[in-house]
Chains A and B, each alone.
Chain A
Amino acid sequence: MTVDLGRKKVGNVEITTGAVLVSDGSTQKTKTGGWRAMKPVTDHAKCISCAICWVYCPDASRFKDTDGKFDFNADFCKGCGICAEVCPVKCIKMVVEEK
């Protein structure tokens, strides 16, 4: 099939019909962590690697670190604090992030 995105300039901005993009994974490329005011700081010594934070994170921003403990991805974490709330051993603390 031939894709014609209908590229055109409106004013000074180039757009495509219906905002279709020829790339996949634009969500990964567009970093949205900048919205965050609080960050989840994890105490790796206390973490039991249960992965509950990984399950509950609404933005898939929890990941398993090299030491097998879970931490947050600063590029996408919005600082909602759900991970800290659900952690059974309370090893995650939400702290104000200074930029």
Chain B
Amino acid sequence: MRHVMEASHAVAESVKSVEPDVIAAYPITPQTHIVERISEFVANNEIKSEYIRVESEFSAISACLGASATGVRAYTSTSSQGLALMHEILFIVSGMRLPVCMSMVNRALSAPINIWNDHQDSISERDTGWIQLYVETGQEAYDMTIMQHKISEDKRVLLPSMVCMDGFTLSHVYEPVDILEKAQVDSFLPKYKPVHAILDPKEPLTQGPIGFPTHYMEFRKELCDAMDGSLKVIEEVMADYSKRFPVAIKDARPEKYFHVEEYMMGDADVVLVAMGSVCGTIKEVIDQLRAKKVKAGLLKIITYRPFPKELIAKKLAPYKNVAIVEKALSPGLGGPLYHEIASAMYEAGAKSKLRNFIVGLGGRDVRLDHVERIIDMTMSGKGKTEEWML
């Protein structure tokens, strides 16, 4: 059914329909509205989840780890400093192959302290072995929260996942969202049946043992193989979801979910690459410029980990001018997404001219004229390879 709803509340509705057995979260801006709404559902007995009120994000993720190790569905949500505090445990959850699911509401990291949006928090956790999916709209946030459980819990994957949504610019925005019936979600997402991790006093087993130098590398290799293999599973799950639940609201999501979404790329002279809600602004500018016969397109990346590098290189290789527009940094290197795409393009032998634009850090508005400038600079070759939209 269609509702006008805050994106955070849409995610909470999604969690309600997924009904995790255990939810452990600590409130942090801008994730707050998600966990507040979920705790209301639990308090009102609308869902049977066990909600653990913890004293920190370190405890939240640790509680989820413990819960998941007993073989139940576990969920958490956080932002920024909260995710940074979880850092150590994020590796342990993925290493133990526990399919914990997280709603990650993107916010800048201190210092200086800043509660507004950029992608530094989740991009800084890209190496933790968690699947990362970036969404543009409230509908995508809702849909992806259901899909992430099916992806993570798949026997071929067994990896934790975070759905990353922009703080405020998406999380606090009211949009039309199509909410599914509980029975529809149940038919898509079966109950979690653990296979390898079931702590049970009647059938004792050991989880989290020491990995000596004779074995450690093989476990890391298997984790990487599972992450690579999850590309196929994500694709299957997205295709299945898109088929079962067709678009109900125009432009609220891609007709068929995939690792990437192509927008007006066909005959484009310049292609922008971006993740998250800024894609909405970029699409708007593309539409305006098309009316003036300027041919720009967008490649929106949804699946960031695993990184679909062959696919992205193949999609971008035909274009002479490509601009990677991102909201995160690796100080001393530049934009992480830019460098990953540059590597992928080099491996594929592609010759496109790549540009890197750093935008929207700490909630700085990314305006229509910023995007116009990016397109103009990329087409004309003006400026340096890395430019900041200050």
Contact = CB atoms under 8 A, between A and B. Distances in A.
Interface of A: 1-6, 8, 10-11, 13, 15-26, 30
B205 A3 contact: yes
Q: Which of B97, B214, B215, B218 has the most CB of A within 10 A?
A: B218
A17 B205 contact: no
A5 to B, nearest CB: 5
A58 to B, nearest CB: 16
Interface residues of B, number: 29
Contact of B222 (A8, A23, A25, A30): A8
Given A16-B196, A18-B98, A18-B197, A3 B203 contact: yes
A23 B96 CA distance: 16
B97 A17 contact: yes
B331 interface: no
B219 interface: yes
Given A4-B195, A10-B221, A15-B219, A20 B206 contact: yes
A30 B214 CA distance: 15
Nearest to B215: A13
B204 A20 contact: no
Given A17-B196, A19-B211, 14 more contacts: A1-B71, A1-B203, A4-B155, A4-B195, A5-B196, A10-B222, A13-B215, A17-B158, A18-B95, A18-B158, A18-B196, A19-B208, A24-B205, A30-B210
A50 B209 CA distance: 33
Contacts of A24: 204-206
A1 B194 contact: yes
B206 A13 contact: no
A6 B196 contact: yes
A94 to B, nearest CB: 26
26 contacts: A1-B200, A2-B195, A3-B196, A6-B195, A8-B222, A10-B219, A11-B221, A13-B218, A17-B158, A17-B195, A18-B95, A18-B98, A18-B158, A18-B196, A18-B197, A19-B95, A19-B96, A19-B215, A20-B197, A20-B207, A21-B206, A22-B205, A23-B204, A24-B205, A25-B204, A26-B209
A23 B205 contact: yes
A3 B195 contact: yes
Given A19-B209, A30-B210, A4 B222 contact: no
Give the top 3 A-B pairs by smallest Cβ distance, nearest first.
A18-B97, A24-B204, A10-B218
A31 to B, nearest CB: 12
Interface of B: 71, 95-98, 155, 158, 194-198, 200, 203-211, 214-215, 218-219, 221-222, 225
B318 to A, nearest CB: 37
Contacts of A3: 195-196, 198, 203, 205
A10 B218 CA distance: 6
B127 to A, nearest CB: 18
B210 A20 contact: no
Nearest to B214: A13
Contacts of B195: 2-4, 6, 17
B207 A19 contact: yes
Contacts of B221: 10-11
A42 B208 CA distance: 34
Contact of B209 (A8, A10, A17, A21): A21
A57 B21 CA distance: 37
B71 A19 contact: no
A19 B219 contact: yes
A15 B205 contact: no
A25 B209 CA distance: 10
